[in-house]
Amino acid sequence: MKSTPEAGAAPKAADLRERALRLLARREHSRAELARKLEQAGFVDGDIQSVLDEFETRGWLSDRRFAESYVADHRARAGSIKLAYDLRLRGVSNSIIKAVIGEDRDSELERAREVWKKKFRSAAADAAEKAKQIRFMQSRGFSQEIIQKTLRAID
C-alpha cells in the first residue's frame, strides 16, 4: 500500500527521495520536469533541489540522457524544429538541444519522407493539396528546406 499524506498535510521530506526514484524508474525525466512533478506533489523546493543535485552527481538524472531518449522516442513522427521546441518546454538547455538534435540531422530528410508517405501516399494534384501537405509537414516540425526537398523528390 502506498503511503500518501493525509489531505491538507504536507508530504514528508523522507518521501521525496522515494517519489523521485519512482518517477525516474518509469522513464527518463529532465531536471525541470522532475522538479515540477515533485513540487506539484507538495514537496519543498529547497529539498527538491538538493535531492536532484544528488541524483545528477550519482548519474541517475541527466538532461542529456533525457533529451537523447526523448528524441529517439519521437523522431519518427517529428522534425527537428518540433523536437527542439518540446525539449525546451521540458526545461532542457539550448546547448544540450543543439548537441542532441545535431546528432540526429542526418536522418531528417528520410524521416520527413516517411512521415509524408504515411499520411499522403501520392503527390499533390493541385496547389491547394500541396499547401495542405506543406502545412502538415510544418506542424510536424520539419524545416521549409526539408519539406521542399521531400516534395521535390515525390514529384
Q: What is the pLDDT of residues 40-99, one digit of tens each?
A: 998 988 899 999 999 999 999 999 999 999 999 998 889 999 999 999 999 999 999 999
**pLDDT of 106 strictly over 80:** no
**pLDDT of 5 strictly over 80:** no
Whose cell is 509537414? That residue is 137
Are the C-beta atoms of 20 and 55 separated by less than 8 Å?
yes
Amino acid identity for residue 55 in this structure: F
Cell of 33: 520536469
Predicted TM-score of the model (pTM): 0.81
Mean pLDDT value of segment 142-150: 93
12-61: which CATH number, 3.40.50.300, 1.10.10.10, 3.40.1190.20, 3.10.310.50?
1.10.10.10
